[in-house]
Structure 1
Amino acid sequence: MLSDQIKTKCTLPHSLYRAQQIKDFEGEAAALAGITLYSLMERAGQACYDVFNTHFPDARQVLILSGKGNNGGDGYIFAALAKNAGLSVQLCQMGVPDDLSGDALLACSAWQAKQGVVEGIEQADFEKADIIVDALLGTGLSGALRPEYQRLIYKITASGKPVLSVDLPSGLNADTGAVSDVAVKADATITFVGLKQGLFTGRAIDHCGQIYFSGLGITKQFDSLCSSSVTRISYQDLSDRLTPRSRTSHKGFFGKTLILGGNLGMPGAVRLAGEAALRTGSGLVKVLTRQENQLAVIAGRPELMVADFDLNKIDDSAIRDWATNLVIGPGLGKDNWAKMLLDFVLASDLPTVVDADGLNLLVDKPAWKDTWILTPHPGEAAHLLGCSISKVEDNRFSAVRNLQHSFGGVVILKGAGTLICDGKQTYLANVGNPGMASGGMGDVLSGIIGGLLAQDLNLQQAATLAVCIHGQAADLAAQQDERGLLASDLFPYIRKLVNP
């Protein structure tokens, strides 16, 4: 049974930290709490054992793989607890016990004093084990994995046995969520003191399994010493931004969203963005698109207004003055018509969402605006930054900050563990599912943001809440299965979520 101090998905803290921050302040926090570092290690081992009992209640044969640092020391504490409970425990040490020092060596000595056996990694019996406890590296990874660790992790994966990782799946970067070579794929991960930001974005999503957290009794002291620039957010955290409407409201109270896009052959994108803005609550939504697309747009959603864009009337003030906010990009294309639309947007001071080809066109016409929200996926982010997609994914935190520094406003870097950066703070939303890997999802997100901007939310408020609504709606829609999920399947759930 989990102790009250261990947090699960619904109760995890909001602040996220880099590994160095935890290393720098956990000792001081422990001292303030009157706790020795060895006592902290004992608490970590106990927390790990509590998660083991909850998540793997039927396991009887336990294989513990311990590294040379404090992560390995946690493994020794866990081993003693499991042995005392009557479980069959095999503890295998990377290197030899003489490699250990400090508290890890004390934990090893305590294990041996209770007739605990320490074996070499080559003696690990993967076939016999019911579960593998990964106490190899934790946050101790720096740079590429050494070959002996790579070989061991391949063996862990090949065994097909469930894995509990201590603090961090070995091979995963605690700060970025990147995997340089190979990493353990855990079924559950118990992490300590502060949540590592790399656990929640990028490839980490495939490696951590269920994440548990224990502050080890020093949370208050640690938080007083160390501030975080990355914050986890959820729909539940932000939904109070959508207050009930007055009984005397009318459509003029809730803004006018102008959506620009839908080049030849691409009416669906603006149609989806337009309905998303309506379903989110924008008072009026007008779609500025190719004349050839107008019938397709209004046939699918007659509540949308439509107009074509005459290049000879691009400075038409009636269009510019009508809108309270803009969305450009869905189905935009890259021809002269598309470029003129972008020029129209760049000349405006209205709050603006830029997506899809609107972003791609910015590569050749870079600009800085405080009044826009950019919504790139990793490919578009790489294009904007002039780098490879893999470089973006290797450090999504750095990528989203660099985009914001280069283009201003608020930047949403989409993907597993979506990041939102306003230049001061980075927000991380753990929402969404693989069913969202289908056409039109980004158009719906753009429309949701536009609908929130129309209702007087500021850029940061609209961006963060829109990401959470979008992902939460997709998660609700995916309850009927992920594969085959369509962007339009989100609409009934969006309507519910904007009426908390």
Structure 2
Amino acid sequence: MSNLNQQENTASLPYSVWPVEALSRLEQQGADALGVTLFELMQRAGEAAFAKIRSLWPAEQHYVILCGHGNNGGDGYIIARLAQSVGLTVTLIACDGSKPLPEEAGQAREAWLAAGGIVHDPAIAWPENVGVIVDALLGTGGNRAPKAPYDALIKKANAHPAPVLAVDVPSGLVAATGTVPGDVIVATHTLTFIALKPGLLTGKARDVVGTLHFHALSLDPWLSQQTAPISRYDASALSRWLKPRRPTSHKGDHGKLVIIGGDRGTAGAIRMTGEAALRAGAGLVRVLTHKDNVSPILTARPELMVHELSNKSIDDALEWADVIVIGPGLGQGEWGKNALKKVENSQKPMLWDADALNLLAISPDKRQNRIITPHPGEAARLLNVKTGEIESDRLHSATRLAKRYGGVVVLKGAGTLIASEKGEMAIADVGNAGMASGGMGDVLSGIIGGLSGQMLSPFEAACAGCVAHGAAAEAVSRRYGTRGMLATDLFSELYLFVNPEMLNK
């Protein structure tokens, strides 16, 4: 095995994400820059994958390696040859195609055969003592439901008790979108190469990727000079946006926020949004709500300034505020519609969520000073499509929303996307299944709104808010698990993430 110049850093992933259509160019240009062939890159990928398998499962002696009829299969042939060369038992199962193998994959297969390796038909019975399964079937090339014999091999791998390492991308997961159109490998670990792909971070990715690892194949010096069109952010990125405060700062320096919503019976939604804004560091937060909610909200959180929503109170608040949030508990009746009409002409930074988005879908407009935070159902209404179409390509959907409505879009979900009309795109690589509970969106709106008044651009506030929100949920889950997590549980951990200088203490 050759000595790779760059050793994998398993503690972190890159902060750049590249669309699938750019990967071939990246690979070729990177190889040219290093003066190596594409086959040498394939060799490095096979070496990295074999090293990862050995580090994860050092005691296992028998590998089943599933090879497709493409370059992903070429990686599998290299892994097989390396494993066999150190005395491990390999059962390699390959799918034939109607066309010859790509040149590099063909070289890898010939090297496997020349080393005495055997290529088995997909219909063979699997041996009983398999310790590891290697998925090198489809990689980034799959964009539709796998057909025979791939689908049968995927089913067999998923039914087997042995752990699975997916090479580059779990077969059946669409690397561009994170969708799963048919059978898909449910990997224990995935090792991806050269660049992170969007489909590994959003959509259904978390159901099937397992633990994600990355290896640049020694291209990182060259890759660091390239500008990726998509950014990946986790908690380690918060310090870029949220700096320690000046000792002499005062509440007026940290934003005056008005939050509008909470029709009769929905005091909880607007109260959570208001407290989230305070917990995110907003200097002053004024809540305008239904008169029935004023006393309960003040009792629950006296630091909020709570008033009955009226024409006068909203006019006063819009003049006073630096940032406006509207939507949580707003409803779609005349009460909510009248409030939204007052707000929509303001030129101040604003965030629209929940019923404000449902009303926006009825009367669409475009503005640059607004953040919208739809979940997939709300996004579908905003684009007049079915929810399945939103989820079939979340990146495209976020881009469409930004172009249609302007400003910044936060498309919520596993692998939340943040997009701007200017073309900025980010993935918040945080969060967990515990966030699938009522009130999480209200808390997110408050966090983003609170950060918007703290010298951040709308896109920065949306990114920082999504990351802090998801990272707080991760911290809660580490202590208590994901089932039963409440939106307000995040407040106990949010301090750490809106004060990122505390994370390393």
TM superposition score normalised by structure 2? 0.94
* Equivalent in the alignment of 2:171: 170
Partner of 1:106: 107
Q: 1:291 to 1:9 in 2, by over 3 A?
A: farther
Q: Given residue 407 of structure 1, which amino acid in structure 2 is its aligned partner?
A: Y
The 8 Å contact of residues 230 and 425 in structure 1, kept in 2 or not, is answered as yes
The residue that corresponds to 1:485 in the other structure is: 485
Measured in 1, the distance between the counterparts of 2:164 and 2:87 equals 20
CA contact (8 A) 2:70 2:101 kept: yes
Distance 1:407 1:389 in 2: 18
Aligned-partner Cα distance in 1 for 2:283–2:224: 43
8 Å contact from structure 2 (residues 5, 218) kept in 1: no
SS in 1 for 2:467: helix
Query: What number of residue pairs does the alignment pair up?
Result: 497
Q: Following the alignment from structure 1 to structure 2, what is the Cα–Cα distance between the partners of residues 30 and 298? A: 63
Cα deviation code 1:310-338 (max 9, x no counterpart): 25x47x63222111111111111111001
Distance 2:362 2:97 in 1: 57
Partners of 1:124 and 1:454 in 2: CA distance: 63
- Judged with a 3 Å threshold, the aligned counterparts in structure 2 of structure 1 residues 121 and 288 are, in CA distance, closer, same or farther, namely same
* CA deviation string 1:386-429 (max 9, x = no partner): 11111111111001000000101110011111110012210011
Whether 2:470 is the aligned partner of 1:471: answer yes
Determine if contact 2:238/2:498 at 8 Å carries over to the other structure: no
Q: Following the alignment from structure 2 to structure 1, what is the Cα–Cα distance between the partners of residues 70 and 271?
A: 56
Are residue 457 (structure 1) and residue 456 (structure 2) matched? yes
User: In the alignment, what sits opposite 2:252?
Assistant: 252
| Cα distance, 1:95 vs structure 2 | 2.0
Greater Cα offset, 54-63 or 276-285: 54-63
SS in 2 for 1:485: coil
Q: 2:116 is matched with which residue?
A: 115
- Of residues 42-51 and 134-143 in structure 1, the stretch that sits farther from structure 2 once superposed is 134-143
- Contact kept? 2:144, 2:182, Cα under 8 Å: no
1:70-98 C-alpha deviation (Å, 9 max, x unpaired)? 11111111001111121111011112799
Runs of 4+ deviating beyond 4 Å: 96-99
Per the alignment, residue 132 of structure 1 pairs with 133
The answer to whether the 8 Å contact 1:136/1:170 transfers is yes
RMSD, aligned CA: 2.0
Q: CA offsets, 1:344-385, max 9 Å, x none?
A: 110211111111111111011111111111111111111111
Name the CA distance, whole Å, in 1 between partners of 2:365 and 2:98: 58
3-state SS in 2 of match to 1:216: coil
Quick one: structure 1 residues 127 and 4, their matched pair in 2 at CA, closer, same or farther if it must change by over 3 Å? farther
Structure 2 counterpart of 1:231: 231
* In structure 2, distance between residues paired with 1:113 and 1:350: 69
1:361 equivalent to 2:388? Answer no
How do 1:422-433 residues align onto structure 2 when only pairs under 5 Å count? Answer: 422-423=420-421, 424-433=423-432
User: TM-score if structure 1 supplies the norm length?
Assistant: 0.95
SS at match of 1:306: strand
Inter-partner Cα distance in structure 1 for 2:430 and 2:213: 17
Question: Which amino acid in 2 is paired with 1:338?
Answer: G
Q: CA deviation at 1:124?
A: 4.8
6-15 or 317-326, larger mean C-alpha shift:
6-15
1:338 is the counterpart of 2:336: yes
* Counterparts in 2 of 1:126 and 1:227: CA distance versus 1, 3 Å: farther
> Letter of the aligned partner of 1:265 in structure 2?
G
What is the rounded CA distance, in whole Å, between the counterparts of 1:111 and 1:454 in structure 2? Answer: 61
Comparing 117-126 and 241-250, the one that deviates more: 241-250
The 8 Å contact of residues 229 and 425 in structure 1, kept in 2 or not, is answered as yes
Residues 119-159 of structure 1 show CA distances to partners (whole Å, capped at 9, x for unaligned) of 11111516431111011111121434223222221222122
Summarize the alignment of residues 20-59 of structure 1 with structure 2, pairs less than 5 Å apart.
20-59=21-60
Q: 2:400 aligns with which of 392, 398, 402?
A: 402
Amino acid at match of 2:261: G
Asked whether the equivalents of residues 97 and 105 of structure 1 are also in contact (C-alpha less than 8 Å), the reply is no
In 1, Cα distance between equivalents of 2:297 and 2:251: 21
- Verify the 8 A CA contact 1:95 1:121 in the aligned structure 2: no
**CA 462–155 in structure 1, closer or farther in 2 if over 3 Å, else same:** same
The answer to whether 1:441 aligns with 2:440 is yes
| 1:429-474: CA deviation from partner (whole Å, max 9, x where unpaired) | 1101111111111111111111111222110111110111101111
Cα separation, 2, equivalents of 1:196 and 1:281: 34
CA 319–227 in structure 1, closer or farther in 2 if over 3 Å, else same = closer
Shift of 1:8: 4.9
Residue of structure 2 in register with 1:383 after alignment: 381
> C-alpha separation between the residues in 1 aligned to 2:253 and 2:452?
12
SS of the aligned residue for 2:130 comes to: coil
1:3 is displaced (CA, Å) by: 7.1
1:196 is displaced (CA, Å) by 1.3
Secondary structure of the structure 2 residue equivalent to 1:340? helix
Q: Do 2:272 and 2:443's aligned partners in 1 also have CA atoms closer than 8 Å?
A: yes
Tell me which amino acid in the other structure corresponds to 1:251. K
- Report if the CA contact (8 A) 1:6-1:212 is conserved: no
